[in-house]
Amino acid sequence: MALEKKWVTMGDVAREAGVGTITVSRVIRTPTKVSQTTRDKVQAAIAKLGYVPDETAGALSSQRSRMVGALVSTLEASIFASTIEGLSTGLRAEGYQLLLGNTEYEPETEASLAATMLGRRPDALVLTSDQHTEAARTLMNRAGVPVIELWELPESPIHAAIGFSNAAAGEAITRHLVETGRKRIAFIGPDRANDRRGQLRQSGYLRAIAGQEPRVALMPADLKGAGIGAAGLAQILERYPDTDAVVCVSDAIALGAYCEAMRRGLSVPRDLALTGFGDFDLASDAGLALTTLRIDGHAIGAKAADLILSGTKAAPLPPTVIDMGFELIRRGTS
């Protein structure tokens, strides 16, 4: 038996809720402009009737899709989870939806995903990388929507950048180890050609140990997180058994290095100081009590949402660079 199509309209929802169609539209598009009581009535009517907003009609009339595309470099270890949460929460308050893609640190993958997302006419595009192919950069420059690069401060952002200096961060945490008396400091990270942030943190490490011998272990890209840390520390100790401190490019990598140190009977921090990057849950006092750098990812995402909403409501987004900084968190591993 053929199914009969019966489209529920915004007018149907308005009649069910006892409000005007404009109020229904506001609940859907800009819910913060409607009282909680009215929102509850309209949402109840939407649920009862099974109403699905016609986004294509709204996009045609307003020239807005009310969608934002976000391309993250990795979903591993939830590195960007708080940033996406801050971005999504800020956008959702104004009725925007987020489309998410994972580039795996590959500029060619980013270029393909960017083209796909821009084909859906989003109101903005958010990236967690500043490494783009020339074709992708040209496409994004011509797309006519704001492009915001997060977690780094590139010299020439496409439109806007919100983040911090990864080089300064790498230098700051290494200097902390130098100031606590460590004299043979190593660095562990992944060997990814397109991991610009890791490379910048390594450059900061090299500046901070000027006068010391560099001790760097970059592990194959097929290893992940803790695997990089464990294999990296094993390599460092084989080459440089007198190493007394290790800078890890992430908290997940520091976890692997910590476990490898325990397996070898080394005391942290007496025999070996360890630092991470990110201040995720595993770094807390309830976890590793890891010395690390805290990045307010949620604030970065929320600031990106603010920029997007200000750009789509009024004038186009002006060239913008916002340094959110970082904070050294000293705990028991150093």
Over residues 156-178, the pLDDT tens digits come to 899 899 999 999 999 999 999 99
Report CA-CA distances (Å) from 234 to 91, 145, 264, 276.
45, 47, 9, 17
- pLDDT above 60 for 198: yes
Q: Say which range, 49-58, 72-81, 252-261, 319-328, has the weakest mean pLDDT.
A: 49-58
Q: Say which range, 14-23, 46-55, 132-141, has the weakest mean pLDDT.
A: 46-55
Q: Say which range, 43-57, 128-142, 215-229, 238-252, has the weakest mean pLDDT.
A: 43-57
Range 166-294: architecture per CATH:
3-Layer(aba) Sandwich (3.40)
Closest C-alpha to 124, from 322, 295, 306: 306
Instruction: Give the per-residue pLDDT at 231.
Output: 98
- pLDDT above 90 for 25: no
- pLDDT above 50 for 261: yes
Q: How many CA atoms lie within 13 A of 234 on its CB side?
A: 11
From its phi and psi, is residue 289 left (phi > 0), alpha (psi between -120 and 50) or beta?
Answer: left
Q: Tell me the whole-structure pTM to 2 decimals.
A: 0.78
DSSP tag of 271: T
Q: Are strands 215-219 and 185-190 parallel, antiparallel or unpaired?
A: parallel
The CATH number of domain 64-164+297-324 is 3.40.50.10860: no
pLDDT bracket for residue 68 (50, 70, 90): very high
Amino acid at 159: H
Higher-pLDDT residue of 327, 10: 327
What CA–CA distance (Å, rounded) separates 16 from 22?
Answer: 14
pLDDT bracket for residue 315 (50, 70, 90): low
Q: How many CA atoms lie within 13 A of 250 on its CB side?
A: 24
CA angle 264, 267, 273 (to 5 degrees): 105
* Residue bearing tokens 């500029």: 107
What CA–CA distance (Å, rounded) separates 223 from 274?
Answer: 20
Give the residue range(s) of CATH 3.40.50.2300 domains in the chain. 64-164+297-324, 166-294
